[in-house]
Amino acid sequence: MAVITGYGVVSAVGRGVPALWDAMAKGHDGIASIERFDTTAVGVGVAGMVPDRNMPTDDPAWRVCVEHGIAAAREAWEHAGLDRVPRDRIAFVFGTSIGDRKVGIQVVTDAIADALGVAGPRLAVSTACTSSTNAIGFGLDLLELGVADAVIAGGSDALSPLVVAGFTALGVLTPGKCAPFSEPVGTTLGEGAGFVVLERQGRGFALCGYGLSADAYHDTSPDPTGGGVARGIRAALMHAGVANDEIDYINAHGTGTAQNDPAEWRAIQHVFGARAEALPVSSSKSFVGHAQGAAGAVETIATLVAMAHDAIPQTQHFTVPRPHGPRDPVGQATARAARCETAVSTSSAFGGANCALVIARRDRARKRLRRPVALVGCGAIGAHGTRLADIGARGRVPAFALRDIVPSADPRGLDPCTRYLLAAVGLALVDAGLRIKGDVRDRSGIVLGVTMQSPESDDALYRTIAERGYRGLSAPLFARQVLNAPAGTCAKVFGLRGAHSTVCAGPATGLVALVYAAELLASHTDCEHIVAAGVDELATDATDNASEGAACSVLAATDGAVRVVGWHIAGPGQLAVACERARAMAAVDAIDLVVGPRGDIDPTAIVGATPAFASALAVVIAAQQIRSGAARTVLVQQPGATAADCAIVLTRGVTHAS
Amino acid sequence: MSLADDVAAVRTGVALTDGDVTCVRVGGGDAHQLLDRVSPRPLFARQGQMVDTLLLDDAAKPLADLYICCDEDDFLLVAEGMTGDAIVEYLRGHAAGLDVAITDLTPTHGFLGLHGPYAWELLAEVTTPDIVGLSYLSFFHSGGLTCFRGGKTGEFGYDLMIERAQLAAARAQLVSIGARLELREISLAALELCQLEAGFFNVRREVRDGITPAELQLLWRTSSDRAYPGSAALAERRATPHPRIALIVGDEEFATDASITLDEEPVGGVLHAGKSYTRGGYIGVALLDRVVSHAGLVGFRAGAAAVRTVSSPAVNNRSLFVDPQRHTWATRDQATFPPLVRPHWS
Amino acid sequence: MRAELAATIAEREEILARLREMLIDRMRLQRSPDEIDQDAPLFGAGFGLDSLDAVELVVCLDTMFGVVIDDNALMRQQMRSLNTLVDLVLAHRQGHVARR
């Protein structure tokens, strides 16, 4: 549990929290004509644009995204009074779906973090429309882990012609103002930023817990039964230690599309049963639009600010209800006066990711049960091929038949990044002797470490735009723009319907994915297995010296032959701190071997400085060393340049004779 | 018993039929390997998914039209055209050295079929409202029944596998709950006419000696880079000129096995003919010389009847326009649907 | 063969060939052209195209043949198979379907 000691927001209804409350109290929305760029040859021309940036500019979208982010984060900082906290004890967790491959996500993360002066870990979560919701949850995990004393978590996104064109192509936009749960069907895009400050004590509402899940259904359509959303909400309630009947308000994802709204309602009915009929369920997208990666944070803050005024947010533009939707959608122009004690805020994304947060008025200090974590299998595909014993080569992944490794996967339309990930996960599951089947699917998840979308898919998408204009962009390729796309495909193929996330942390990306997976297993009891992987794909014009590949470890909430006993993430330039804290958590006597740059075995010397693959491979190498008896306890360390320095400790476990 | 009304129920409402399929379970550690050996189509399927494939003899003649359904560690084969016994024998013939358990479920399990644009609505009441999430070619277990979403009429179609002891009671329950939806119990003959209208392959009627997936426009259910029974014969047939089927329609009656001529020249014959209650007139599957086997051509005669070729399907399926998230039987008149027959230019 | 018939057949063959190429290049169907039966269902069972591919297909019809599909019903009816797509392109060429 954490206290939300501050929050800040930039949205379609203006800058700052007071503007947001003003709009909710008075019934204004921020949907307007897009003026920043010409939409005639692109798509639908209205969105929830941040008003004082809705004019033509030379700034690329990522710079606007940075600007929104800095503004919102500063407001949160001031609100919390973070000047009192040492900078290296402040972490920044940033959710975004900005996907400018030339710039890279870390540049955007750093730009905001540097403006704030954050010297603790600076991490990104990129899971499309759940990015900032997930970032807030991840922030909670990091706070409880002791990585920081204050975490600024949330997200930012700025609209671009590409996003407008993509959503237009998918046919999910309404030409006017969206009316979630009502008519007309369709969503309205938006942009903005929102951040919360999480601390262990202080004054403010409580973030009690959060949950993650995957639909494992389709690239862009949600599971119509709402199964994925339901799993996410249940996981959040479980993590928060809150019962169903304590929830008195739900801030829904509520995009207004034909597919999301009924599925989401079904999920709410599944989780809350008969109580669902009386539960107020509203969608803030009705007044700020769909701020994409920033949506979760902006909407959570709308909930917080309404709660602070003894109100709950409304669903604007609600007229006639659709055949399947909430009985009480708070369908009115202004916020409703209502005392809400405990709320759920939920988001869903392309690729099938879902994330739910539980917020409460009063804190409820709970001792979390921490569970052991073991590495039960691993696999890697790279220039060496697929056999772990052959690891040592550098360069491109040689041609391989995915069918030989994952017989059930149809290779049609899979980009290299996705094929490598499927192969590595397939190999790791076989190595673990693990069949994901039956109910185990609901408790098996994936955390992917990746720093960009597939170069092949990205290039192919821009080729279609060059040939046919924005109106002719390829919808299937647009769907591959979100960084969690390979994870979404993986979840579908292997039935991984549990916790689901995608993280970026510069050169430490792969290792941070492992740490996140370990932390989820240790502290979220809905998780039983998580495959943690890092994947890098080379662009077709990359130099011969560079490498690509994917490495995966299957972690489980058990004891085992290889135990994961300690982990830590520290700020840039603090590798020693990360290692020392990981060792302390592990409570081991001696480290026999160090894997990582400046260690006994350096994966970057083997496969090159690949941000996700090398550090994920480091864990695979460490596990192999323990299994072969060459070492008892191994420290894996990875400096992460401007992002974070990371360390994890593995040790030989005692396997019980069965 | 009116065939016209039966067909109308399939096309606009909900229809119940006896099952016309059989089921064989394949388990064991090498189950996937065995089925990969015999299926012309690679088995890209995860749990709950169905692959629409065939069983061929060594001459590449289709023996069975089947769904291979991935059920955790096992596979369920839901087949038409071969008895359970025959399928078991066929599989055993390829199972040398494999760890497999093959069980014919025909003695213990029977089937019912539900077809029509509102078939899902009846099933939602009988199984679970979550059936809206059941994609085409998916299946799930619900209580004592297994529901396979396939369908050969172009409408929502479900094959329900039920233990024989419960079959009668299940049928009665469907009829009882289905009354609200004006459920009609129809004959398999009517279902077959709907299948013909949809241009779906009918393994019972359209196969002859010497015919392969190449003639039957079923190459999509095969692969050219794997070996399976008949793969060599099929490759050979593909490399040589061969006739190809097309769907034909006409106002005058024509019969199965009638000769087909084009401008008085013989060009083929009718594999399967029947009356089309949805379009009016008659419809058939014709095996034609490849050069003239195209949709949209006029001037043919099947026997004495004037016929022309059309694209498949020959009818416009209402189910394409029914959205279980928005439509219901009760409010069906409030929805506007396109006509059941497409404009003449198609 | 009648000249008119031969011309119709030739036109259909030409459109079919271009559509098959489109499926292989744009939709990344891993099939040889003659394996793509002209009456095979494109969506669902046949080649497993999904709703995203449908969007791409609509764009390809526009850029390759100048056929604009903005009627949802028309789209679903005429995108069942290669043959129905050919019917649509021919109807467009003959003026039966509204032009842009």
pLDDT, tens digit (0-9, with 9 covering 90-100), for A41-83: 999 999 999 999 999 999 999 999 999 999 999 999 999 999 9
Smallest CA–CA distance, residue A525 to chain C, in Å, is 35
B73 chain-A contacts, CB cut-off 8 A:
435, 437
C42 chain-B contacts, CB cut-off 8 A:
none
Contact A645, A556 (CB under 8 A): no
Question: For tokens 């697929």, what's the residue?
Answer: A386
* Rounded-to-integer distance, Cα B288 and Cα B247, Å: 10
Smallest CA–CA distance, residue B114 to chain A, in Å, is 21
Q: Does the annotation count A646 as an active-site position?
A: no
Last residue of a domain, one of A339, A360, A381: A360
Give the DSSP letter of residue B114: E
Is residue C73 assigned to a domain?
A: yes
Query: Once rounded to an integer, what is the mean pLDDT over residues A245-267?
Result: 96
- Chain A interface includes C55 (CB < 8 A): yes
The confidence score (pLDDT) of residue A658 equals: 41
In this prediction, what percent of chain A has a pLDDT beyond 70? 99
Show which subunits contact C, needing at least 3 CB pairs below 8 angstroms.
A, B
The confidence score (pLDDT) of residue B344 equals: 63
Smallest CA–CA distance, residue A190 to chain C, in Å, is 22
**CA angle, B29 then B35 then B40, to 5°:** 160
When divided into structural domains, chain C yields a total of 1
Q: Are residues A342 and A384 in the same domain?
A: no
The confidence score (pLDDT) of residue B168 equals: 96
Q: Are residues A324 and A414 in the same domain?
A: no
**CB < 8 Å & 24+ apart, contacts of B334-339:** B338/C73, B338/C77
Residue among B45, B70, B133 minimizing CB distance to A224:
B133
Residue among A411, A471, A474 minimizing CB distance to C56:
A474
Record: contact B52-C37, CB cut-off 8 A: no
Is residue A147 assigned to a domain?
A: yes
What confidence tier does A656 reach under pLDDT thresholds 50, 70, 90?
low
Closest CA to A43 of A475, A462, A461: A475
Expressed as residue numbers, the domain containing C55 is 3-93
Residue A515 has pLDDT above 80, yes or no: yes
Query: Once rounded to an integer, what is the mean pLDDT over residues A303-325?
Result: 96
- Chain B interface includes A313 (CB < 8 A): no
Q: Does the annotation count A529 as an active-site position?
A: no
Q: Which of A68, A290, A317, A529 is catalytic?
A: A290
- Number of Cβ within 10 Å of residue A63's Cβ equals 16
Expressed as residue numbers, the domain containing A644 is 373-652
Would you give the end-to-end CA distance of chain C in angstroms? 36
Record: contact B296-C86, CB cut-off 8 A: yes
The confidence score (pLDDT) of residue A657 equals: 46
Is residue A657 assigned to a domain?
A: no
Smallest CA–CA distance, residue C14 to chain B, in Å, is 12
B323 chain-A contacts, CB cut-off 8 A:
258
When divided into structural domains, chain A yields a total of 2
Per-residue pLDDT tens digits for A573-602: 999 999 999 999 999 989 999 999 999 999
Q: What is the CATH number of the domain that holds A10?
A: 3.40.47.10
Q: Are residues A127 and A272 in the same domain?
A: yes
* Rounded-to-integer distance, Cα B45 and Cα A214, Å: 19
Q: Which two tokens stand for residue A260?
A: 């999301």
Residue A367 has pLDDT above 80, yes or no: no
Record: contact A408-B133, CB cut-off 8 A: no
Per-residue pLDDT tens digits for A637-654: 999 999 999 999 999 997
Is residue A112 assigned to a domain?
A: yes
Helix (H) or strand (E) holding A464: helix A455-468
Amino acid residing at B330 = A
Is residue C99 assigned to a domain?
A: no
Record: contact B220-C86, CB cut-off 8 A: no
Nearest residue on chain A to C56, judged by CA atoms?
A474
Q: Are residues A355 and A380 in the same domain?
A: no
Is residue C12 assigned to a domain?
A: yes
Question: Does B3-194 carry CATH code 3.30.1360.120?
Answer: yes
Residue among B43, B47, B132 minimizing CB distance to A407:
B43
Q: Which of residues 225-264 of B touch A (CB under 8 A)?
A: none
List per-residue pLDDT tens for chain B, 346 residues long. 599 999 999 999 999 999 999 999 999 999 999 999 999 999 998 899 999 999 999 999 999 999 999 999 999 999 999 999 999 999 999 999 999 999 999 999 999 999 999 999 999 999 988 888 899 999 999 888 999 999 899 999 999 999 999 999 999 999 999 999 999 999 999 999 999 999 999 999 999 999 999 999 999 999 999 999 999 999 999 999 999 999 999 999 999 999 999 989 999 999 999 999 999 999 999 999 999 999 999 999 999 999 999 999 999 999 999 988 888 999 999 888 888 987 766 4
Record: contact B311-C96, CB cut-off 8 A: no
| Residue A43, CB-side half-sphere exposure with 13 Å CA sphere | 25
What confidence tier does A544 reach under pLDDT thresholds 50, 70, 90?
low
Q: Which two tokens stand for residue A393?
A: 């080569």
What confidence tier does A213 reach under pLDDT thresholds 50, 70, 90?
very high
Contacting residues for B158 by C-beta, under 8 A, at least 6 apart: B113, B114, B115, B119, B120, B123, B147, B148, B149, B150, B151
The confidence score (pLDDT) of residue B186 equals: 97
Is residue C100 assigned to a domain?
A: no
Per-residue pLDDT tens digits for C28-51: 898 999 899 999 999 987 888 988
B32 chain-A contacts, CB cut-off 8 A:
407
Record: contact C26-A218, CB cut-off 8 A: no
Smallest CA–CA distance, residue C74 to chain B, in Å, is 9
* Rounded-to-integer distance, Cα B162 and Cα B164, Å: 6
Record: contact A476-C53, CB cut-off 8 A: yes
Q: Are residues A522 and A615 in the same domain?
A: yes
Is residue C75 assigned to a domain?
A: yes
Q: Which two tokens stand for residue B153?
A: 């009429």
Is residue A368 assigned to a domain?
A: no
